[in-house]
Amino acid sequence: MEELISLFESLEDIEKLQGFFVIGKALILFGDKNLLLTLMNDNFYEAIFGFLEYDPGIDITNSEYRYRKFFRNKAQFLNVVQIKNLDVLKKIQLNYRLIFLRDTAASSWLEDSVLLVLSDVLFYFTIRSSLPILKTY
């Protein structure tokens, strides 16, 4: 995956970059829970969202579709309740990325089967993230 990401980052040709969109889309549409979690982990999520920026069906000159820029500059995690457990914090961040994928980056082409997998994962993480917080109150 690292080699694929470094190749992506070195390209400037729009047609080749759109090929990476096809790769990213195919990986997501595969619909495997473990693969989705790997794609959205700290090491790969920015690259995957970068792939999805080059959807041939959207105007890439529109800054509205710059997902990496959004995650770097605008998306901020704010603690309403202090969370000391790093695993819970990571699950919350992963949850956010999965929701962003579902509702924004891939909303126009996600298939029902992948939506079901995403919903299951999101439900599981929401419950798993909430329990340690609820136990302290």
* Residue boundaries of the structural domains of the chain: 2-135
pLDDT digits (tens, 9 = 90+) for 66-111: 888 888 888 887 778 787 888 888 888 999 999 999 999 999 999 9
The residue behind tokens 């980052």 is 9
Q: Which pTM value belongs to this model?
A: 0.86
> Among 26, 132, 120, which residue's Cα sits nearest to residue 82?
132
pLDDT digits (tens, 9 = 90+) for 106-128: 999 999 999 999 999 999 888 87
Q: 45 and 27 in contact (C-beta within 8 Å)?
A: no
Output 9 or 112, whichever has higher pLDDT: 112
Phi and psi at 40, nearest 5°, equal -100, 5
Output 14 or 133, whichever has higher pLDDT: 14
Q: 49 and 71 in contact (C-beta within 8 Å)?
A: yes
pLDDT value, residue 64: 64
